[in-house]
């Protein structure tokens, strides 16, 4: 069932999660379409992924703005012009201010490489290894005004093996991200998610 939801992706780096979303869309597993990719980094490989797949790409270079608020005002203008239903953060290395979050309540998603609320912020995989936990994973969640804090949509647990390095663990966590991010986005696009307080419920058939 294609509901025609329009998705905007914000990214700063390689864009492997964007590629997973695009691939799911091509397989018919996403009830929506990525209509724009915005990056704060003019050298980000994610921009090439967008071009290669015929998606509008926009560079909003963070170095050209004095403050976070000024940057987010410019970003909000771009997002509003696209008339988006959902904003997806895919390795976007900026914390969104209230300017963006309040404009898209319950319509911004992020993915984080840990089982939140454990190990929020940067280097979630490294922190999990250093802390000695036996299980980590990834979390897809809605974004609010606090860092890595919004209602959790999907989580997948990944066992940490004794022989794991940061690189080997990252590889498995990223594979889980690529499975779960498109799924969460599809649930949103099919209107199967409902936020009640801190909890996010999935309603109706997932398939």
CATH number at residue 189: 3.40.50.170
- DSSP helix/strand/coil, 16: helix
207 lies in a domain?
no
Angle at 39 between CA 35 and CA 45, to 5 degrees: 95
181 lies in a domain?
yes
174 lies in a domain?
yes
- Catalytic residue list: 112
pLDDT band at 4 (very low <50, low <70, confident <90, very high): confident
DSSP-assigned beta bridge partners for residue 199: 152, 196
pLDDT at 2 (0 to 100): 44
91 lies in a domain?
yes
- Over 50: is that where the pLDDT of 1 sits? no
Domain of 147, in residue numbers: 5-202
Burial code (b: 16+ CB inside 10 Å, e: under 16) for 41-57 equals beebbbbebbeebebeb
Encoded tokens for 50: 């967008």
164 lies in a domain?
yes
* C-alpha dist (Å) from residue 200 to 5, 21, 59, 147, 155: 19, 21, 32, 17, 12
In the chain, the number of structural domains is 1
Q: What are the pLDDT digits (tens) for 79-112?
A: 999 999 999 999 999 999 999 999 999 999 999 9
């Amino acid at each position: 069932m294609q509901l025609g939801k329009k998705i905007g992706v914000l990214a700063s780096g390689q864009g492997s999660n964007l590629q997973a979303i695009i691939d799911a869309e091509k397989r018919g597993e996403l009830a929506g379409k990525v209509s724009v990719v915005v990056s704060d980094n003019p050298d980000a490989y994610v921009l090439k992924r967008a071009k290669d797949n015929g998606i509008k790409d926009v560079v909003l270079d963070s170095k050209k703005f004095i403050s976070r608020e000024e940057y987010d005002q410019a970003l909000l203008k771009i997002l509003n012009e696209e008339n988006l239903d959902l904003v997806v953060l895919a390795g976007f290395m900026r914390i969104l201010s209230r300017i963006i979050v309040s404009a898209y309540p319950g319509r911004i998603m992020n993915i984080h490489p840990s089982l939140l609320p454990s190990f929020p912020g940067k280097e979630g995989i490294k922190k999990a290894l250093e802390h000695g936990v036996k299980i980590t994973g990834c979390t897809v969640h809605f974004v609010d005004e606090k860092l890595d804090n919004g209602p959790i949509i999907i989580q997948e647990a990944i066992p940490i093996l004794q022989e794991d390095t940061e690189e080997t663990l990252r590889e498995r966590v990223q594979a889980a991200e690529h499975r779960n991010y498109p799924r969460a986005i599809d649930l949103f696009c099919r209107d199967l998610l409902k936020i009640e307080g801190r909890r996010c419920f999935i309603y109706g058939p997932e398939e």
